[in-house]
Amino acid sequence: MHMLDLIDKKKKGKRLSKEEIYYIVQGYTEGAIPDYQISALLMAIYFQGMDAEETRMLTMAMVESGDQIDLSAIEGVKVDKHSTGGVGDKVSLVVIPLVASLGIPVAKMSGRGLGHTGGTIDKLESIEGFDISLSMEKFIENVNTNKMAIVGQTGDLTPADKKLYALRDVTATVDSIPLIASSIMSKKIASGSDAIVLDVKVGNGAFMKTLDDARALAKAMVSIGRGLGRDTVAVLTNMNEPLGKEVGNANEVREAIKTLKGEGMQDLVNVSVTIAGHMAVLGGAFDSIEVAEKAIRENMKNGKALEMLKTLVKIQGGNVSQIENPDLLPTAKISVPVIAKKKGFVHEIKAEEIGTSAMLLGAGRETKEDVIDYAAGITLHKKVGDEVTEGDVLCTLLTNRENYQDAYDKAQEAYDIADERPEHIPFILDVIT
């Protein structure tokens, strides 16, 4: 087999066979095929696409390039969730205890944040002592005894994806549906769960800016999951503003606590309940999403969901008193109100700008090596649809950094205020099964 022929084949829009895809992925992972040939192939895929079978083979080749987690020692159907990345996205913090409170095992592997998006692991580490580096034995034991555990990515999962993703980043080939779908799904499949619920974000703060693109990505991912024996559902959710009112780390944990008590903002509650509901159905606990959602809302009201978060914090070595009294979580010394320059209605809050502003305040990383300030972040007081008068406080910056002017400007620019009241966009845009 020659790489030149395979590039030429894809360039002409022909399909690659399983053997050819494995040859490419293995050769690239081992360093036998150079970057320049893979770059050319990626660009050919970008323009010519890949069919469902090719995309599934690419996913499996990437899964088999590294370690695969074996969760068979956990009883029951293990359900995972994945978000394609948003700002203020604390859904995992809400959903893990919610689903576990229904008796469904959640074995979650999560990542850290980079750039304008946050990571679940960073948020949890704002709780004093919370340990995300559990051994695989302890991880499995915790899920078996308490129905949930969360770890940072361990082992050498999907090294082929790591290498390919880095190359896509510098060759303008990230935004290709088969490449995104196979990249995300390879990590989910390698993580070992039986079923997967995908939260596909749509809007200005998301990878997918339009509903049509998001639907196409969701369908590609559901098809890969199903084709590889994992029950998969994708929920398309609105990301034309950050989710909820808090963006950061400790402040997002505070908001998750409120939400688990049933006192969260509508958008966050709706997205969390829908995702948890689909996880509960895939986990086999309920026959219908309506009944599952009812049980979930009940566990928010009766305190079971919050109790589960306390259990999660306790079994992973965290300080439970910070959950009982969220004022004990890290708080910033400086708070700066961001003022509206004109009156009108909020049409959009550019999530990426808010995420970047929060990063400049210390809540995120510009490079992988940066250290996070857990107290830093932004509280949004005005959300899309709200009426604003000149001089109103749009949001508050929370920081320990004296120099916050760039963050202030970014947050102010993030608010798109216009004369007319905007049309309401539903929180849940579609569900692909």
Task: Pick the catalytic residue from 187, 278, 365, 410.
Answer: 187
Catalytic residue status for 116:
no
Quick one: 111 or 385, whose CB is closer to ligand URA? 111
| Contact between 323 and ligand URA per CB under 6 A | no
How many other CB atoms are found less than 10 A from the CB of residue 72?
10
Write down the least CB distance from residue 205 to ligand URA, Å: 14
- DSSP per residue over 2-70, as a string? -HHHHHHHHHTTPPPPHHHHHHHHHHHHHT-S-HHHHHHHHHHHHHH---HHHHHHHHHHHHTTSB---
Stretch that binds ligand URA, among 172-180, 194-202, 222-230, 330-338 (CB under 6 A): 172-180
Q: Give the span between the Cα atoms of 374 and 127, in whole angstroms.
A: 9
Quick one: 179 or 305, whose CB is closer to ligand URA? 179
Task: Pick the catalytic residue from 161, 194, 373, 416.
Answer: 161
Tell me the number of residues near ligand URA by CB under 6 A.
6
SS3 (DSSP) at 82: strand
- The closest residue (CB) to ligand URA is 183
Task: Pick the catalytic residue from 78, 82, 112, 258.
Answer: 82
Stretch that binds ligand URA, among 44-52, 180-188, 373-381, 408-416 (CB under 6 A): 180-188
- DSSP per residue over 345-381, as a string? EEEEE-HHHHHHHHIIIIIS-SSTTPPP-TT-EEEES
Task: Pick the catalytic residue from 168, 215, 278, 382.
Answer: 168
Stretch that binds ligand URA, among 18-26, 61-69, 179-187, 408-416 (CB under 6 A): 179-187
Catalytic residue status for 343:
no
Q: Give the span between the Cα atoms of 15 and 18, in whole angstroms.
A: 10
Identify the residue among 107, 148, 149, 180 touching ligand URA (CB under 6 A).
180
| Contact between 234 and ligand URA per CB under 6 A | no
Q: Which residue has the tokens 């409170």?
A: 101
Task: Pick the catalytic residue from 101, 126, 176, 183.
Answer: 183
Structure tokens at 161: 């994806």
Q: Which of residues 148-167 bind ligand URA (CB under 6 A)?
A: 165
Q: Give the span between the Cα atoms of 283 and 288, in whole angstroms.
A: 12
| Contact between 184 and ligand URA per CB under 6 A | yes
Q: Give the span between the Cα atoms of 193 and 50, in whole angstroms.
A: 26
108 has which bridge partners? 150
| Contact between 224 and ligand URA per CB under 6 A | no
Quick one: 209 or 381, whose CB is closer to ligand URA? 209
Catalytic residue status for 168:
yes
Quick one: 126 or 182, whose CB is closer to ligand URA? 182
Give the pairing of strands 387-388 and 344-349: antiparallel
Helix (H) or strand (E) holding 204: none
Catalytic residue status for 161:
yes
Quick one: 91 or 180, whose CB is closer to ligand URA? 180
Quick one: 192 or 277, whose CB is closer to ligand URA? 192
Stretch that binds ligand URA, among 130-138, 177-185, 250-258, 374-382 (CB under 6 A): 177-185
Quick one: 83 or 379, whose CB is closer to ligand URA? 83
Own/partner long-range contacts of 12-18 (Cβ < 8 Å, ≥24 apart): 12/48, 13/48, 15/50, 15/51, 15/53, 15/54, 16/50, 16/54, 16/57, 18/57
Catalytic residue status for 278:
no
How many other CB atoms are found less than 10 A from the CB of residue 19?
10
Q: Annotated catalytic sites, by residue?
A: 82, 161, 168, 183, 187
Q: Given the rule CB under 6 A, which residues bind ligand URA?
A: 165, 174, 179-180, 183-184
